[in-house]
Amino acid sequence: MTAAGESGGASVCISGHADEPVDAAIAHRGATAKLLLLAAAMFMVGTNASIIAGLLPRIASSLGSTESTVSYSITLYSVIVAIAAPVASITLARTSRAALMAGGAALFSIGTIVTSLSSDPAGFFGGRAVAALGGAALVPTASAVATSLVPHERRGRALALVAMGFTLSGALGTPFGTALGSAATWRLPMWVLAGVGIIVGVSIVVGLRRAPTPDAVPFRQRLAPLADRQIVATVLTTLFVVVSGNVVFIFSATLTAGATGGSGTLLAVLLMIYGCSGLVGNQFVGRLTDRYGSKHIAVTALGAAIALLAALPFVVASYPLTAVVFGVWGFMAAGMSVPVQHQLVELDPQNVTVTMSWNSTAMYVGIALSPPVGNLAIGLGGPHVTPFPAALCVALGLGAFLIGRVPTRARRLIEGDRARVGTAPS
């Protein structure tokens, strides 16, 4: 594990080799602007993934289809990203990070344009599939590149800033897109997203053309994370947490009907409270993770989320209490995602692109699993019980995270060797 900022902070290794240092001031110049660009990429991918839910009735009517049929495009999108993300990281390992992300942005825009021009379900699904391939190239690469733009001690804040794009997509992108599609046509927000994709792609080519490309790694080594118990357990944390959040988010209309009286406006306010609270949380969690470590922040956030979700069914008759729970829950959601990514980077910093691609796969598998988990819960006990399986998923995520903290035998041996070398007489 090569720590950035070695030699008294005068240099930092961004290539993965300790013998190729560059001046830290040069390596990290303009990092904030570059991180904001990566956050913008996350914003458009996140908005595109979730905006369909708010526009389902209009899309189904326009395509001469049913809401149920169109809803499967969400699953299709998620499954394609889940499969394509690790495949892209393995097969395109030698590709420039800027070229890979710019290509992903291009596919995203092309797919979104095809979606907006479609007049039947086949064209709509085809466009979503192409856009999903673009997301698969963008999401894990952006997370990995973010950690190479800053010194080691600022990785948590870098990940939080990039993750803010996803948070904003829920807080602003999806509600705004839904409102825009409702006021005009569902195709309009699609065209807006396609335009954003073009702008982001061009900006990546210009602003991130010098992003370091990881060294070529043998195919077997690229599958190595799947043989590492700590990495697999940490990635499973992401899967469980995403299932938890989406089970409640997708079925929030029926869950909170008693509090909102069926008002779409009041529901939108609840979702915005959740998203904006997550945005605020992002501003703190990165710094807290850098200061206190991923374990303390993740355990606190996961434990609080379990309690909040378990309490939610008992307060949904009251709008003020529901708003409070949604607000605190949204804040804690940021505390669950950033430390998990930070732990993955710490576990295997030299193979971070591949590791992040598996984390992205877990995230989208979680999205794909959320509808059947929620429907099963509703079938067994009604919409008000959906927070209970969500709380159970967070508990499973907490257990997986703690397992991921227990060093494997190989890592214990490595740390023991380092300790002996560090204490050996010179």
Pick the last residue of a domain from 190, 216, 242: 216
Predicted pLDDT of residue 7: 30
Is there a single domain that holds both residue 265 and residue 202? no
Predicted pLDDT of residue 400: 94
Is the pLDDT score of 4 beyond 70? no
Say which residue, 5 or 214, is predicted with more confidence.
Answer: 214
Q: Of the ranges 257-266, 322-331, 376-385, which one carries the lowest mean pLDDT score?
A: 257-266
Is there a single domain that holds both residue 265 and residue 401? yes
Is there a single domain that holds both residue 235 and residue 351? yes
- Token readout for 333 is 């959601």
Is there a single domain that holds both residue 208 and residue 247? no
382: region left, alpha or beta (phi > 0 left; psi from -120 to 50 alpha): left
Q: Quick: pLDDT tens for 19-73.
A: 334 444 444 557 888 889 999 998 998 888 778 766 777 888 899 987 768 877 8
Is there a single domain that holds both residue 38 and residue 181? yes
Number of Cβ within a 10 Å radius of residue 282: 27
Query: Is there a domain that residue 237 lies in?
Result: yes
Structure confidence at residue 5 as a pLDDT band (50, 70, 90): very low
Is the pLDDT score of 135 beyond 70? yes
Range of the domain at 182: 22-216
Residue 6 to residue 174: CA distance in whole angstroms: 42
Query: Is there a domain that residue 420 lies in?
Result: no
Predicted pLDDT of residue 215: 58
Is there a single domain that holds both residue 120 and residue 56? yes
Is the pLDDT score of 394 beyond 90? yes
Predicted pLDDT of residue 420: 56
For residue 242, how far is the Cα from the chain centroid? 9
Say which residue, 220 or 161, is predicted with more confidence.
Answer: 161
CATH number at residue 145: 1.20.1250.20
Is the pLDDT score of 417 beyond 60? no
Winning range, highest mean pLDDT, from 55-64, 370-379, 389-398: 389-398
Is there a single domain that holds both residue 241 and residue 128? no
Query: Is there a domain that residue 16 lies in?
Result: no
Query: Is there a domain that residue 415 lies in?
Result: no
Is there a single domain that holds both residue 228 and residue 160? no
Predicted pLDDT of residue 309: 93
Query: Is there a domain that residue 15 lies in?
Result: no
Is there a single domain that holds both residue 255 and residue 306? yes
Q: Quick: pLDDT tens for 178-196.
A: 778 877 889 999 999 999 9
Is the pLDDT score of 82 beyond 70? yes
Say which residue, 232 or 284, is predicted with more confidence.
Answer: 232
Q: Across residues 129-143, what is the average pLDDT? A: 86
Residue 272 to residue 323: CA distance in whole angstroms: 10
Question: What is the value of pTM for the model shown?
Answer: 0.69
Is there a single domain that holds both residue 225 and residue 204? no
Pick the last residue of a domain from 216, 249, 273: 216
Specify the number of domains making up the chain.
Answer: 2
Winning range, highest mean pLDDT, from 14-18, 90-94, 96-100, 146-150: 96-100
Structure confidence at residue 214 as a pLDDT band (50, 70, 90): low
Is there a single domain that holds both residue 228 and residue 369? yes
Predicted pLDDT of residue 28: 54
Residue 31 to residue 60: CA distance in whole angstroms: 43
Is there a single domain that holds both residue 158 and residue 232? no
Predicted pLDDT of residue 216: 57
Is the pLDDT score of 419 beyond 60? no
What distances in angstroms separate CA 229 from CA 113, 217, 302, one per listed residue? 41, 20, 20
Is the pLDDT score of 12 beyond 70? no
Is the pLDDT score of 121 beyond 80? yes
Query: Is there a domain that residue 6 lies in?
Result: no
Is the pLDDT score of 381 beyond 80? yes
Pick the last residue of a domain from 172, 195, 216: 216
Is the pLDDT score of 293 beyond 90? no
Residue 198 to residue 204: CA distance in whole angstroms: 10
- Asked whether the beta carbons of 311 and 326 are under 8 A apart, the reply is no
Number of Cβ within a 10 Å radius of residue 378: 17
Q: Of the ranges 75-84, 285-294, 380-389, which one carries the lowest mean pLDDT score?
A: 285-294
Query: Is there a domain that residue 11 lies in?
Result: no
Nearest to 89 by CA among 348, 369, 410, 335: 348
- Asked whether the beta carbons of 287 and 157 are under 8 A apart, the reply is yes
Query: Is there a domain that residue 300 lies in?
Result: yes
Structure confidence at residue 416 as a pLDDT band (50, 70, 90): low
